[in-house]
Amino acid sequence: MERLLVLVRHGQSDWNLKNLFTGWENPDLTDKGVEEAKRAGVRLNDLGLKFDLAYTSELVRAQRTCQFILDGVGQSDLETVRHLALNERDYGDLTGLNKDSAREKWGEEQVHIWRRSYDVPPPGGESLKDTAARVLPYFITDILPSVMSGKKTLVAAHGNSLRTLVMVLDRLSSDEITSVNLGTGVPMIYRLNEDTSVLSKEVLD
């Protein structure tokens, strides 16, 4: 029995393009982001992959990415579960700010700590550790059982919500995950062993 899990960060959004902290705000995909999502669907289709179930967040950039991928593999009507547990990290007071402007206001080092540390949150926001605290329970109770039952599962979400899953799947430390960046619209194909460990991983970059 194949235990297949595909993770995809959404395509480029309007706020990605403008270099803004996005978090739980809800900008749409850019034209480039649409193309990235469509290309992900084509790449997965070229591999002959089909899905039994899809998960995405409550944010439109992830939802549209998910739909473009499903369109690309010929499964436009596949059952798709939306859940806020998969939302992007909440950037709190940084939300909507240009990243360069934030560096000017708080300093390069402080903004770097907020962005890249594992457990230091920005003011009013979530650290990666906080994000993991809502993503991982949902993964364990809902997504992982689907995968382990043999349902080929797609998750289209966000850079930080997916980084928490990559941290667990790839068995990375809190220090190692700080240097991991996920490309927009790039599928990561995991196949799992019976004990939920990773049998193989392929990144379609």
Positions marked active-site: 10, 88
∠ CA 72-75-76, nearest 5°, is 85
Give the count of beta carbons closer than 10 Å to the beta carbon of residue 109.
Answer: 9
First to last CA, the chain: 27
**φ/ψ of residue 93, rounded to 5:** -65, -15
∠ CA 168-184-173, nearest 5°, is 20
Whether the CB-CB separation of 11 and 33 falls below 8 Å is answered with yes
DSSP letter assigned to residue 92: G
Whether the CB-CB separation of 61 and 11 falls below 8 Å is answered with yes
Strand partners, 9: 157
